Amino acid sequence: MGRLKEFDAEKAIDGAVDCFWARGYEATSVRDLALHMGIGGASLYNAYGDKRALFIKALERYADRSSRARIARLEADGKPKQAIQTFLAEIIDRSLKDRARKGCLLVNAALDVAPHDAEIGQVIAGYLDEIRAFFRRSILAAKTLSQVPADIDADETAGHFLGVLLGIRV
């Protein structure tokens, strides 16, 4: 019979997010991860697989707590034009207050890891597509409410907003 997990999985994955975010993927060792996660190396491998698999899980956790949470909160208000404005304003504010210059874990990974790892590149592209889809939904909803001109191309404008967002975070 296998042993039960003897650690808080939520706390452990948050430790992995913090470690990858502070050090980057390449500079983060399994020892660093285990230390930040509060678990032993064997537990890390047993629970999460290798460093790469853990990185993918950390990206998921980061997306859940940052972009996905922000999108859900802003869409719940039912004010699509305001949602876009608030999303971008919060990113600007977060960037300006980032004294440690950690940036965005997804953008950092897109620049540092994705060019060398196609699978991780696909994972990151999926998260960025979620943000683009939020912009697109918001634009279409704003058009329906006559908050923006009817001739605005939602796909093109959503791509533009994503580009602006990425530029800010880089």
**Model pLDDT for residues 145-159, shown as the tens digit of each residue:** 999 999 999 999 999
Is 32's pLDDT higher than 80?
Answer: yes
Q: Higher model confidence: residue 10 or residue 139?
A: 139
Nearest to 57 by CA among 90, 27, 86, 19: 19
The answer for residues whose C-beta is within 8 angstroms of residue 44's C-beta and 6 or more apart is 30, 33, 34, 37, 54
The pLDDT confidence band at residue 134, using thresholds 50, 70 and 90, is very high
The pLDDT confidence band at residue 4, using thresholds 50, 70 and 90, is very low
DSSP string, 103-149: --HHHHHHHHTGGG-HHHHHHHHHHHHHHHHHHHHHHHHHHHTTSS-
For residue 1, the model assigns a pLDDT of 43
Nearest to 33 by CA among 105, 24, 104, 99: 24
Percent of the residues in the chain that have a pLDDT greater than 70, as a whole number: 96
Is 36's pLDDT higher than 70?
Answer: yes
- Taking the C-alpha atoms of residue 16 and residue 10, their distance in angstroms, rounded to an integer, is 10
